Amino acid sequence: MENHIKVSIKNLSLWYGSNQALDQITMDMPEKKITAIIGPSGCGKSTLIRCLNRMNDLIEGCRTTGEILIDGQNVYDRRVDAVEVRRRVGMVFQKPNPFPKSIYENIAYGCRIGGINTKQRLDKIVKESLKEAALWDEVKDRLSDSAMKLSGGQQQRLCIARTLAIEPEVLLMDEPCSALDPIATAKIEDLLRDLKRDYTVVIVTHNMQQAARVSDYTAYLYLGKLVEFGPTRQVFEKPEAELTERYITGRFG
């Protein structure tokens, strides 16, 4: 792979209590590309992606071994603060989860807790983030309305805008379209192609076509193990493992 490696996962294993969810995962994610993670449900996709911003720290009894290097720095290093990691690695969740605040405050939130408080700067950031998430035109006249009044697709784009506002380097998305209709999904896929210019994106999806359409690299996960990882075209056209082929062609099970 000719690109600079942004995220490098080395021998990552994870246990929920005594239950092992990830087993010796090793993979490299290139900078400013979209990496898709696919696999049947319960195989550990969410678990893997949540390791990248240390969200699993919040779960009691969760234990990890191995390393995740972002720009060469291990995020699981004892000296690294999880809060700092999360400002560099943003995350969008499966279910849109806007805060019960105004549209404006939803986006300003990340900046405010990061110490940016001047109205001028916040106004600018809110506008830019909403534009970046292709939501500005739909909400520019009602920034002070509740975010809860937006449609599901709009809420999800708001969550993306909210994440972009803190200027992360890596953007994690856990099945961001699974709660959305086809039109809203198409909008988010368009958006992903634009975001690739500035961000390294990792997206979990259970929609094969989506992975094929938007991603540059694809990882296939099965029962907590990485079965296959490579450029998307290669994974979809001539997969190395038989498991992958069966999953992709829908003859799984």
Partner 1 sequence: MKPKDALSCWIIFLGSAMALIGFGSAAGSFYIGDALLRLLFVLLGISLLLLLPTSFRLAKQKRSFCWMVAFAAISFALAYLVPSAPPKVGLRDYSIDASLMKFMISSLALVITGPVAASAGFGPLFNFTKHAHQASAYCFLTIAILLILYPLGLIISEISVNGLPGITWEFLTQDVSKHGAEGGIFPALVGTILLIGLTALIALPLGIGCAIYLQEYAKRGRLVRVIRTAVNILQGTPSIVHGLFGLAVFVPLFGISLLSGALIMGFLTLPIVIRTSEEAIRSIPQEIREGSYALGATQWQTIRKVVLPPALPGVITGVVLGLGRAAGETAPIMFTAVYFMGARVPGSLLDPIQALPYHLLELTRYWGAYPVEQNAWATAFLLLAIVLGINAGGIILRERYRQEF
Ligand X SMILES: Nc1ncnc2c1ncn2[C@@H]1O[C@H](COP(=O)(O)OP(=O)(O)O)[C@@H](O)[C@H]1O
Residues found near partner 1 in the complex (CB under 8 A): 53, 55, 58, 83-84, 86-87, 90-91, 93, 95, 97-102, 109-110, 112-114, 146, 148, 159, 162-163, 166
21 binding ligand X? (CB under 6 A): yes
| Of residues 96, 95, 94, 98, the one with CA closest to residue 46 | 94
Choose, by CB under 5 A, the member of 34, 35, 38, 46 that binds Mg ion: 46
Give yes or no for residue 214 binding ligand X (CB under 6 A). Answer: no
CA distances, 121 to each of 93, 137, 250 (Å):
27, 20, 49
Cβ distance to Mg ion smaller for residue 46 or 205: 46
Q: What is the rounded CA–CA span in Å between residue 107 and residue 199? A: 18
Site mask for ligand X (CB under 6 A), range 33-72, x = bound: ------x-xxxxxxx-----------x-------------
15 binds ligand X (CB under 6 A): no
Q: List beta partners, residue 222.
A: 225
Closer residue to partner 1 (CB): 93 or 199:
93
Least distance in angstroms from the C-beta of 6 to partner 1: 18
Residue pair 211/205 in contact (Cβ under 8 Å)? The answer is: yes
Tokens of 238: 């001539």
What does the alpha-carbon distance between residue 99 and residue 223 come to, in Å, rounded to a whole number?
A: 34
Residue ranges that bind Mg ion, judged by CB under 5 A:
46
